[in-house]
Amino acid sequence: MLDEPAAGMNASEKVELRKLLESIRRDGTLYAGTSGKGVLKFKANTTGWVRLHDGLKDHEGMVENFIRVLTIDREGGIYAGTFDGGVFRSPDGGSTWRPISRALPNDSIRGIIFNSRGLFVATGHGIFKTTDKGRQWVPLNNGLTSMAVQVLVESPSGSLYAGTNAGAFRSDDDGKSWSQLPTKFTRPLAKGQAVRHTTAAAGGYGDPLRRDPDLVLADVVDGKVTPEGAERDYGVVVRRAPWRVDIEATTRMRKK
């Protein structure tokens, strides 16, 4: 959460942070991808976070405020992967943005990696690579048994790991081929090491009708909760085009 409001936001608002990125200039500039507030920018010795949204519009003209992933290239270009609006690139520190993923078969961006070999993007329908800032995309799905990619990461050695609905996969050749990892394995741990296992849809606690509607909305956009489930379980009425909480309908629903 970001407790400090961005310019143009209510001082009492809290923002759900999805990704935090530091400028390659190492000058204290930070970029934050958020659920519902787009991309925010913080510069050292300034008053606080500033919202960046000029140009973050999909092909239908909808402003993309739900940012799942951010990365930066060697030129300082910033890439923002949205929940369902594709990939955008900013060449000027977030002042302006340009969509670069119209050629991709899916606009739900699950992961972005930039390295010396190119830009790798994971979507809800496969993994793709570009070496020319999105003018051409090459599919990298040989060996994947499911195209519904949920996460894409790179190891320090350069191997790529993809998490899909069918399990986890590894590539040692920049995504040209993938091999599935075993679902069960044994790994010795040294004293002091720890294991973290994150599962989907934990049980939660407290009254679901008191959960922050914006957090419920983020779960809907992220595909963790359906709009029907949000209304049934949390009393939150979600509308689309663009994604938003219907405040009046939600208030009525929660009073029932």
Tell me: pLDDT of 133 over 70: yes
Q: Which domains does the chain have, with CATH numbers?
A: 1-99 (2.20.25), 109-182 (2.40.10), 208-255 (no CATH)
Residue 36: per-residue pLDDT: 81
Residue 136: per-residue pLDDT: 94
Residue 11: per-residue pLDDT: 47
Q: 52 with 92: CB under 8 angstroms? A: no
Q: Which of 17-31, 166-180, 234-248 has the highest mean pLDDT?
A: 166-180
Query: What confidence tier does 120 reach under pLDDT thresholds 50, 70, 90?
Result: very high
**Cα-based angle 16, 19, 20 (whole degrees, multiple of 5):** 105
Q: What is the pTM of this model?
A: 0.74
Tell me: pLDDT of 38 over 90: no
Least confident of 96-105, 139-148, 211-220: 211-220
SS3 227: helix
Tell me: pLDDT of 119 over 60: yes
Q: 112 with 79: CB under 8 angstroms? A: yes
Q: What would the mean pLDDT of 68-93 be, rounded to a whole number?
A: 91
Strands of 17-164 (E only): list them.
Answer: 17-22, 30-34, 39-42, 49-52, 67-72, 78-82, 87-90, 98-99, 109-115, 118-123, 126-130, 138-139, 149-154, 160-164
Q: What confidence tens digit (pLDDT) does each residue in 178-221 have? A: 999 987 778 788 899 888 776 655 566 788 999 888 888 888 88
Residue 7: per-residue pLDDT: 53
Tell me: pLDDT of 149 over 50: yes
Tell me: pLDDT of 24 over 80: no
Least confident of 60-74, 186-200, 227-241: 186-200
Query: What confidence tier does 26 reach under pLDDT thresholds 50, 70, 90?
Result: confident
Residue 251: per-residue pLDDT: 93
Query: What confidence tier does 12 reach under pLDDT thresholds 50, 70, 90?
Result: very low
**Length of the chain counted residue by residue:** 256
Tokens standing for 91?
A: 């060449």
